[in-house]
Amino acid sequence: SYVLTQPPSVSVAPGKTARITCGGNNIGSKSVHWYQQKPGQAPVLVVYDDSDRPSGIPERFSGSNSGNTATLTMSRVEAGDEADYYCQVWDSSSDHWVFGGGTKLTVL
């Protein structure tokens, strides 16, 4: 089955740029989606189809996807961005959704 690999944690200072990676075999050929989950809350879609943002998501959130790595980039990071972030793809070979293990973003 398809596996997505994320770093367990990323730390960033306020106002700086945070990057969270999501690794997978030839992930560049798939559409990658990203979710933000704050403690005690349901996940929220923040980027879909590699780099598109749902309405209401700040432009500070962006995404890219190429080769074996997809990246969620958050610029001008704020304290309110502190959360767990999950990448997701549809694995058409197994007809399953796959989530990465999640990355905890800490704002220093």
Partner 1 sequence: EVQLVESGGGLVQPGGSLRLSCAASGFTFSTYAMHWVRQAPGKGLEYVSAISSNGGSTYYANSVKGRFTISRDNSKNTLYLQMGSLRAADMAVYYCARGGIAVAVPFDYWGQGTLVTVSS
Residues that bind partner 1 (CB under 8 A): 1, 33, 35, 37, 41-45, 48-49, 54, 84, 86, 88, 90, 92, 95-102
Q: Which is nearer to partner 1, 62 or 88 (CB)?
A: 88
| Nearer of residues 2 and 28 to partner 1, judged by Cβ | 2
CB of 107 to partner 1, least distance (A): 20
- Which residue in 8, 1, 3, 2 sits closest to 102, CA to CA? 8
Give me the least distance between CB of 97 and partner 1, in Å please: 4
Among residues 28 and 43, whose Cβ is nearest to partner 1? Answer: 43
**Closer residue to partner 1, CB minimum distance, 36 or 71:** 36
Task: Give the start-end residues of each E strand in 1-108.
Answer: 9-12, 18-23, 33-37, 44-47, 61-66, 69-74, 83-91, 96-99, 103-107
Strand partners, 88: 33, 99
CB 7 within 8 A of CB 17: no
Task: Note whether 1 and 98 are within 8 A (CB).
Answer: yes
Q: Least distance from C-beta 15 to partner 1, angstroms?
A: 28
